[in-house]
Structure 1
Amino acid sequence: MPFDDSGSVTVVSLLTEIAETSQHAALDEVTALAEQYAAADSVLEAGEAQMPDWTSGLDDETGSTDDLRVLSLLSANTGARIAGPDFDPTYTYSGGYGYTWFRDDAEISRFLLETDQRTDLDLSAWHEASAQFYADTQRPDGTWPHRVWPSDGSLAPGWAHGRIEAGENRDSTAATADRGEGTDYQADQTGSVAAFLGTYLRIGDPEDPEAIESVLADAVEGLDDTLEGTGLPQTAQNAWENMTGQFAHTAATFLHAYAAVARSPVKDELADHAAEQADAVYDGIDDLWMPDRGAYAIRLEDGELDERLDSSALALAGAHHDYAAVGQVDDQRLDRLVSHLSTTIEGLYRDPEGSDVRGLIRFEGDEWRMREQSHEKIWTVSTAWGANSATKLARLLDEHDRAAASEMADCALDLMTTIRPGGSLCLDSTYLPEQVFDDGTPDSATPLGWPHALRLATETELAAMELNEAQQTMAADD
């Protein structure tokens, strides 16, 4: 709700749940709550009293407990999360943030699962709720749609429901049979969900492993149906939802998904098939390499490389780390991954003169919501992605005895300083806004769940790496 003199405030109420709560009852309850908590301090005290104790095994100074608080804040009773609070209630500048995107949500789920493995948090109820939500919302073709309402998983308005529209149109006239096919679909969303479910089946404690295996079997069919013979996913929309093509990021999610399924305790036939498909994607990624830039391109468009750098393509590091458990990451690919991360992070890094903010932009030539600014804005999710990917690559390189592992770890630590409490991209509330202008003004949804999950997972992984290094040093001294 905009205010004349002091910016805006986001108001969340039961009025969004009209289907379950009558309007009169919702108004009465919201009014009663407003009277009960008439001051900010009373609201804060009530909220703190309801928060679990997450300090065990976490470093409060890094903002990790705040990350869990944010992710809890954004969660519905189904376990699904909205992307962030709507900053634009009249949808003037965006299509809305109060929905569940399977890409964001599944990435958050996987980061929470990884964090849980390294700590004593016991987030098992969260993991199980996420797995059940994905099972309930999977489409008959094994894929997941663009976005849904978090409260019940019903289809939400979107611009990437092409596979659903195509299915409906096949039952219609021949004249409309091709409408909605192909590009109006975000294949990476299905890849992200499959990667989480495969990982959950392997390292989690699901209540019904067979049900998850069934979901994964259908998901693999959906991935197969959208994979070209070249080993790259078909032309579709990208993670940023503003382009179409064959994207490096989408390929990374497919590689990660197939590898996660191949590693999981599923039937041999499914695991073997997923491993073969992972090999195919691994080979297909070569088509995105740019020798002149020493990095992977943002996309192939009609067979031509779009040679811009893209922060979402940093996901290749984590995907290859999982793939290394089922396939061979050769020396050339390791060299290319090091070059890719170094080139991409350096190319997207911005440290505006006269400003305190620094971090990564989304991609070269990003013009979204620049306002008076003449160049791209810094994004917290891109910066956190850079830190997380550098951490993943450091681990992969260390496992292959590569000296560049320490360089990647240092890069991750440097980027983390910008999003930790006290960092230039982190607000005093410890919230991470989606974007930041050069003058430090936050923009768009705040807090955004995705970078908070990235920050949490990266902090715990860096801590685990530091502990492991210390133990190795002690063992060598002994």
Structure 2
Amino acid sequence: MNNKAYLIDGVIGNSKLLLSMHKNGQVSRMWWPSIDLYQHADEISDGVYVEDARDMLWRNEGEWEYSQGYIKDTNILKSKALHLKYNIEIESIDFCTLRQDIVVKKYIIKNNSSKGLDLKFIFKSGFAIKDSIKFNSLYFDKENDALVHYKQDCVLAVGSSEEISEYTVSNVKDQAELGKLNGDDTAQGTEGALLFELNQVDSGEERVITIFITPGRNKEDALRLLQNAKKLKAEKLYCDTEKYWNEYLNKANNIDIIDDGLQNLYKRSLLAIALMYNKETGGFLAAPEFDEYITKSGGYGFCWPRDGAFIANAMLKAGYENMSKNFYEWAVNVQEKEGFWDQRYYMSGLKAPTWGVQIDETASVVWGMNEYYKQTGDNEFIKYIWDSVYKAAEFLCNSIDSETNLPIPTMDLWEERKGEHTYSCAAVEAGLRGAANIAKELGYNEYEKKWRICSEKIKESIEYNLWNSARQSFYRGVKLIINRDEYDKLKGSNEKVYYCLRDGKYDEYLKYYDDVVDVSLLGISYPFKTLEDTNEKMIKQGEAVEKYLWVNKVGGIKRYENDAYIGGNPWILTTLWLAIHYSNVGNREKAQKLVEWAVEHRTYLDLLPEQIDKESGEIAWVVPLAWSHAMFILSMLEIYDN
């Protein structure tokens, strides 16, 4: 499989299909039957052959000028490419239908030159089915006038509503360069091509070609879907898709956002999250996977329960109660038998690769369930989730360090260090408080009392034992696990460090106080409300976050002091976190400036990345990140809907 760029420009999909795309209109990755599994695209490209000049113009190569944008209020992507030498324009309109799993690629090829040109359009379908080039095969189905790619139980049919002039399943590039496909009809391989004779295209004239890609578990299903697409035609499919996305946005709660840029980004956030939501299972994808070979990260194409809780809460407050409810029902189904939720999962509910339990994942889900109930008053919902809440709350209660009255050491929310982290403690406090509220509603008074006492002890310990007066900030945590070298370096200093045996056999070294300022400390008040935003210590905490984490050169808030991940850049969601804090303490001016920074660093398609490069101010890492969009939605609701 070809190596792919980390950064993409646009995404389209329908909750089962998900495609990431570049500005030149090329498909980078394509997932089906779930938005996290499997990825099938190798190289899918297109272009025109200029017969008079014997010149093949691939749209993703050479002298083109590109522009791209979403059709207003939809997830339909329009990409334009103008060839600078021949003045030929290729416009593609790409979308996935909602009723059926059909990828539609409508091409409008226009001759903008001053003379007529004899043109051919070539579409190259390169698929590495199920993430691999191994054991792929394809053939041309003459009866259905389509290429059929297949491996095991995955079949991808590629056809058109226009008659195909020529085809091949071998040596695609070489044949395309000659403007002639040889008609080879069966091969073990990944690449095929379709050619359409456009003939003489006069100056100012255009031709339309529509390509359909239809997946299926077998060739009959894929080809049946292809024939349905041909019968319905691109215009009907386009209108239905446009109507669906317009109606989806109409379900959102109205908020008073006067600024068009903010309004557009709010709508795009709702639309982007819809693409990263699996309607069948209820899971939310963190981001369309872009680092599948784990070169710089542990991968993003999974559902983190904590991210999911933030996203579900944002969608709940935005008016999409069913999406939020479905997520929590998904959570009930994937919960571990011990009562906790692990680091991350596939959309199906199967456990994804993990490197450590994060107790805030479990706490965030229970907190979110209570938030859903508080807004909806859905008694059937809390009856349904009760067993799950009970198991989770008991797990949390049994995970308390008797010395500190805080949750025992686990991984932090950034998945980098182990200790008793203040953010995680606040999450657990809120989770237990939420569980107690649910127990009270259902009449389980014994559990309400037990869990509320436990949460109150955590709250007291956070407020009175974790405050660092020297830095006017909460400690990031206590009992931070460190390595032997750091222990030896700190031993004998003013730092409190100590050694112990874990499980009676493994050396473990701890630094008692972790005094690094971390943006997640804002979580004590938002969203968890362990302390009120207006608590004097929380006001000081917000000031410390701005003082120590503001990036002077390009602006924005980084995660914590001396952050090294992808260079230690400012993040969109961290900056919005501080914006929400300032809004909640009454400093609307500062809140708006931080929101403006986030808006200024959106992509040209109104998608929000995870990070911004600290030197250049350019997009630095994954696009789009669902958590970034969720925080933008929440910031709009907190700042403009109050």
Question: What TM-score does the superposition give when structure 2 sets the normalisation length?
Answer: 0.57
Separation of aligned partners in 2, 1:308 and 1:457: 26
Deviation at 1:360, TM superposition (A): 0.3
CA contact under 8 A between 2:284 and 2:327: conserved in structure 1? no
From 573, 598, 608, the counterpart of 1:432:
608
Q: Name the amino acid aligned to 1:148.
A: Y
From 401, 409, 416, the counterpart of 2:595:
416
Separation of aligned partners in 2, 1:6 and 1:257: 36
Partner of 1:377: 569
Partner of 2:351: 155
CA contact under 8 A between 1:74 and 1:82: conserved in structure 2? yes
Partner of 2:303: 100
Cα gap change, 1:14 to 1:223, in 2 (>3 Å): same
Separation of aligned partners in 1, 2:453 and 2:412: 25
Partner of 1:473: none
Separation of aligned partners in 2, 1:418 and 1:186: 31
Q: Name the amino acid aligned to 1:240.
A: W
- 2:393 paired with 1:220: yes
Partner of 1:36: 212
CA contact under 8 A between 1:144 and 1:190: conserved in structure 2? yes
**3-state SS in 2 of match to 1:305:** strand
Alpha-carbon displacement from aligned partner over 1:313-358 (angstroms, at most 9, x marks no partner): 110112563666xxxx9xxx92111111111122111130xxxx42
Matches within 5 A, 1:3-402: 9=22, 10-14=28-32, 16-17=37-38, 23=151, 26-29=154-157, 35-36=211-212, 48-51=242-245, 52-55=247-250, 57-58=254-255, 59=257, 61-62=261-262, 63-76=265-278, 77-113=280-316, 115-116=317-318, 121=319, 123-150=320-347, 152-160=348-356, 185-206=357-378, 207-229=380-402, 230-264=404-438, 265-266=441-442, 267-285=444-462, 286-300=464-478, 301=480, 302=510, 304-318=512-526, 321=529, 334-352=535-553, 357-370=554-567, 376-391=568-583, 394=584
**3-state SS in 1 of match to 2:419:** strand
Separation of aligned partners in 2, 1:136 and 1:323: 32
Deviation at 1:29, TM superposition (A): 4.3
Deviation at 1:24, TM superposition (A): 5.8
Q: Name the amino acid aligned to 1:337.
A: M
CA contact under 8 A between 1:252 and 1:319: conserved in structure 2? no
Deviation at 1:30, TM superposition (A): 6.7
Q: Name the amino acid aligned to 1:436.
A: I
Cα gap change, 1:46 to 1:351, in 2 (>3 Å): farther
Percentage identity across aligned positions? 21
Separation of aligned partners in 2, 1:322 and 1:287: 14
Higher strand share: 2
Cα gap change, 1:111 to 1:256, in 2 (>3 Å): farther
CA contact under 8 A between 1:256 and 1:323: conserved in structure 2? no
CA contact under 8 A between 1:289 and 1:297: conserved in structure 2? yes
**3-state SS in 2 of match to 1:92:** coil
Separation of aligned partners in 2, 1:429 and 1:253: 34
Q: Name the amino acid aligned to 1:85.
A: P
Q: Name the amino acid aligned to 2:456.
A: D
Deviation at 1:201, TM superposition (A): 2.4
From 625, 629, 642, the counterpart of 1:448:
625
Gaps in structure 2 of 5+ consecutive residues = 9-20, 23-27, 39-128, 131-148, 162-209, 214-233, 481-509
**3-state SS in 1 of match to 2:295:** coil
**3-state SS in 1 of match to 2:616:** coil
Deviation at 1:241, TM superposition (A): 0.6
CA contact under 8 A between 2:277 and 2:283: conserved in structure 1? yes
Q: Name the amino acid aligned to 2:594.
A: L
CA contact under 8 A between 2:475 and 2:513: conserved in structure 1? yes
Q: Cα RMSD (Å) of the superposition? A: 3.1
Separation of aligned partners in 2, 1:390 and 1:30: 52
**3-state SS in 2 of match to 1:245:** strand
CA contact under 8 A between 1:103 and 1:192: conserved in structure 2? yes
Alpha-carbon displacement from aligned partner over 1:429-462 (angstroms, at most 9, x marks no partner): 1111111102122122211011111110121122
Q: Name the amino acid aligned to 2:638.
A: E
CA contact under 8 A between 2:397 and 2:451: conserved in structure 1? no
Partner of 1:178: none
Alpha-carbon displacement from aligned partner over 1:181-207 (angstroms, at most 9, x marks no partner): xxxx21110011010012222322544
Separation of aligned partners in 2, 1:32 and 1:363: 52
Separation of aligned partners in 2, 1:276 and 1:462: 33
Cα gap change, 1:284 to 1:367, in 2 (>3 Å): same
**3-state SS in 2 of match to 1:36:** strand
CA contact under 8 A between 1:380 and 1:451: conserved in structure 2? yes
Cα gap change, 1:22 to 1:246, in 2 (>3 Å): farther
Separation of aligned partners in 1, 2:360 and 2:288: 23
Deviation at 1:293, TM superposition (A): 0.4
Q: Name the amino acid aligned to 1:54.
A: L
Q: Which has the larger radius of gyration?
A: 2
Alpha-carbon displacement from aligned partner over 1:281-301 (angstroms, at most 9, x marks no partner): 111213321111000122212
Deviation at 1:22, TM superposition (A): 7.5
Question: What TM-score does the superposition give when structure 1 sets the normalisation length?
Answer: 0.76
Separation of aligned partners in 1, 2:569 and 2:158: 37
Deviation at 1:2, TM superposition (A): 4.7
**3-state SS in 2 of match to 1:261:** helix
CA contact under 8 A between 1:247 and 1:299: conserved in structure 2? yes
**3-state SS in 2 of match to 1:147:** coil
Cα gap change, 1:199 to 1:5, in 2 (>3 Å): closer
Deviation at 1:102, TM superposition (A): 0.7
Q: Name the amino acid aligned to 1:458.
A: S
CA contact under 8 A between 1:194 and 1:219: conserved in structure 2? yes
Separation of aligned partners in 2, 1:204 and 1:245: 36
Separation of aligned partners in 2, 1:30 and 1:103: 39
Alpha-carbon displacement from aligned partner over 1:222-255 (angstroms, at most 9, x marks no partner): 1112221222111111111111111111012112
Q: Name the amino acid aligned to 2:514.
A: D
Cα gap change, 1:359 to 1:429, in 2 (>3 Å): same
Higher relative contact order (CA 8 A, sep 6+): 1
Partner of 2:194: none
Cα gap change, 1:225 to 1:212, in 2 (>3 Å): same
Alignment: residue pair count: 399
Separation of aligned partners in 1, 2:212 and 2:243: 15
